[in-house]
Amino acid sequence: MFDTAIRTITLHKSDVPMLVPFLIMLREGIEASLIVGIVASYLVKTGRRSWLFAVWSGVALAVLLCAIAGLLLTLLNADFPQAQQEAFEAVIGVVAVFMLTSMVFWMKKAARSMKAGLQESIDTALTTGSHHGLALVGLVFFAVAREGFESMVFLLATFQQSSGPWAALGAVLGLATAAVVGFAIYWGGIRINLSRFFRWTAVFILVVAAGLLAQSVRSLHEAGVWNSLQQVVFDWSHVIPEDSPLGTFLSGILGYRDTPTASEVIVYVGFLLISLPIFFGVPAVPARPRSAT
């Protein structure tokens, strides 16, 4: 029953050479803009709007350096170093998971220690120095660099390889849409009511982190490093293909995979099973510490 639908989609795609480059760039772009948006809104929400300049600088530097690297690679006709790229993605992915998770738990602590609704009190609650801000800017830089190099090489390929301008246009539009998504997350993040921000953004960030962690496991496999538990758990490539519009969105934001391996599923589910109960305060040990005074 899906067959007919698939055939239609496939035919549709071949007819429109824009769509696939658009979706590829959208996914790569979202993976970067998501982290930028989260970090930027977090900084604003915690009274560090002055750090935004550093965030945008980090984004710009990463984009430009990736552009230079991609241009050089294409100029030299060199092979794309996919294995090294995967290893890089895995390392940055794990660092990002660590930082996002600590952000979430830090927010929870800050939310509990302050009187609800008083945004100004966060400033005082925020005694962390500039190290924290610098680390977040570093995260933004590497999150963009992580996707930027591969995206740049792909973008150049669309300019060089396609018969018409449509593929390149699709790719550029994909990147632009990803930027819009990042901004939407940023705007949404800074508009949302503070206590909601802390609660529901935190859940969202934890799910994002779970996806990043599973993706890092996959990158490690593709880098030739991790080779255990590689049996495919389910094949949904005919149900929600990863390169379909919906699949792209789910994969870019939540780390969806249409053919996940056992190790990816274990890491994804395991991360959420551990982090969510801790976040919502399910006591890990029967003896619960004194509640808020």
Partner 1 sequence: MPSNRLKLAVVGAIGLLVIVVAVLGVALVNRRSAPSTAPDKVAIEISDTACSPNAVTVAAGAPTFSIKNTSGRAIEWEILDGVMVLAERENIAPGFALDVTPRLKPGTYKMTCGLLSNAPGSLTVTAADGSTTALPAAPTLADLVAPTAEYRVYAIRSAEQLGAAATALQSAVTAGDLAAARTHLADAATALAQIAPVLHLFDREANPLLAGPTSFGALDKTLAAASLDSSTAGLVDVTRKSAVDLGGTIHSTTASPHEIVAGAGQVVADLAKATDFGPTAIARIAGVRKVIELFRPLTARADKSLATKLDADLAATETALAQNTAQPARLADLAADLVAMQAALGLSTT
Q: Give me the residues that bind partner 1 (CB under 8 A), please.
A: 9-11, 13-14, 17, 20-21, 23-24, 28, 48, 50-51, 53-54, 57, 60-61, 64-65, 67-68, 71-72, 74-75, 77, 79-80, 82-83, 86, 130, 133, 150, 154, 156-158, 160-163, 167, 221-224, 227, 230, 232, 235, 237-238, 241, 243, 259
- 186 and 41 Cβ atoms separated by less than 8 Å: yes
CB of 275 to partner 1, least distance (A): 29
CB of 71 to partner 1, least distance (A): 4
SS (H, E, C) 62-114: HHHHHHHHHHHHHHCCCCCCHHHHHHHHHHHHHHHHHHHHHHHHHHHHHHHHC
d(CA 148, CA 144): 6
Where does residue 169 rank: exposed (0-12), middle (13-18), buried (19+ CB within 10 A)?
Answer: middle
d(CA 209, CA 130): 24
CB of 3 to partner 1, least distance (A): 12
Nearer to partner 1, 65 or 266 (CB): 65
CB of 124 to partner 1, least distance (A): 17
Nearer to partner 1, 82 or 195 (CB): 82
Strand pairing partners for 107? none
Q: What is the CA 54 to chain-centroid distance, rounded?
A: 19
Nearer to partner 1, 56 or 105 (CB): 56
CB of 93 to partner 1, least distance (A): 15
